[in-house]
Amino acid sequence: MSVALAVTWNPRGEMPRFERLLPGLLQVYTGLAISFPPAANPQVTQAFTAGAYAGRSDLRVFVNPAWAGGRYMALQTALQLEADFIHYADMDRLLRWVETRPDEWRQAVRALQASDCLVMGRSEAAYRTHPRCLVQTEAISNRVVSHILGWEMDVSAGSKGFSRRAAEYLVTNTQPARALGTDAEWPILLQRAGFRVDYCTVDGLDWESADRYQVQAAGSADQRQAAEQVDADPQSWEWRVQVAAEIVEVALEAARKVIVSKDVNVNTG
């Protein structure tokens, strides 16, 4: 079986790390679908649209007209690749995972091929690396989503696996809006439609923001210092409250939505 990678990526100095890790990524994935926000660094996007990576059949790129469509378009673009499964990830988190715990990453890619939807959550050790403003607000949204799904899980680690049919279902039955709400929407809709949803925790999805503009993944001391700086900014808390509120709102909508069964044929064009 084959797996394609679908990522959203707002580049913050990761391009050298991406170039270094790309050969290893392509040993695991049949191809990459990259969804950029409209304000992405043009030097990076042009490398894929008109530069060194343009025209490659194993790299598909979409530059979104609006930020909110990023995750949806990553999934839709990945369906252009020939693969039985799709691994969705936030690019900055994925690069850190591949750098710091490559064996665990490969094991997770193998595991996702046994499920329609594998939600990859953070272990306790991984969660402890994050700012308190994120941990405390995500505790609320995770609790709501866990209640709807029927078991406790961390849904906001930016990494999920899908069978091709599950990905086709999501592209057909959702819209490119409220991107952060997909953390709740995707597994809830798939479970309600009759798809198999599973869960695992990993250490490699620890906090990635300290890696920005660095030549390699940050160490634990730099993570702690960066997290303390984030927590000292009141706007960080305001933003994380907004994120948690969006996830909860979308979760409740997904729990009430009229569902099309997975047994109904879908056509993604």
**How far is the CA of 72 from the CAs of 64, 97, 130, 268, in angstroms?**
10, 22, 26, 13
| 263 pLDDT higher than 90 | no
Query: By CB neighbour count within 10 A (0-12 exposed, 13-18 middle, 19+ buried), where does 153 fall?
Result: buried
Banded pLDDT at 268 (limits 50, 70, 90): very low
Banded pLDDT at 64 (limits 50, 70, 90): very high
Two tokens at 234?
Answer: 């009141």
Banded pLDDT at 67 (limits 50, 70, 90): confident
8 A C-beta contact, residue 79 and residue 86: yes
* Higher per-residue pLDDT: 263 or 47: 47
Residues contacting residue 27 through CB under 8 Å, at least 6 positions apart: none
Banded pLDDT at 269 (limits 50, 70, 90): very low
Phi and psi torsions of 268, nearest 5°: -95, 5
**Residue 171 belongs to a domain:** yes
Instruction: Give the residue-averaged pLDDT of 79-90.
Output: 97
Two tokens at 203?
Answer: 């250490």
For residue 210, the domain's CATH number is 3.90.550.10
Length of the chain: 269
pLDDT value of residue 265: 52
**Residue 193 belongs to a domain:** yes
* Higher per-residue pLDDT: 200 or 178: 200
The count of structural domains within the chain is 1
* Higher per-residue pLDDT: 101 or 178: 101
Instruction: Give the residue-averaged pLDDT of 72-95.
Output: 97
pTM above 0.85, yes or no: yes
**Residue 261 belongs to a domain:** no
| 199 pLDDT higher than 60 | yes
pLDDT in tens, 148-179: 999 999 999 999 999 999 999 999 999 998 89
Q: How far apart are CA 231 and CA 117, in angstroms?
A: 33
**Residue 263 belongs to a domain:** no
8 A C-beta contact, residue 90 and residue 122: no
**Residue 127 belongs to a domain:** yes
pLDDT value of residue 264: 67
Give the range of the structural domain holding residue 134, as residue numbers without chain letter: 3-256
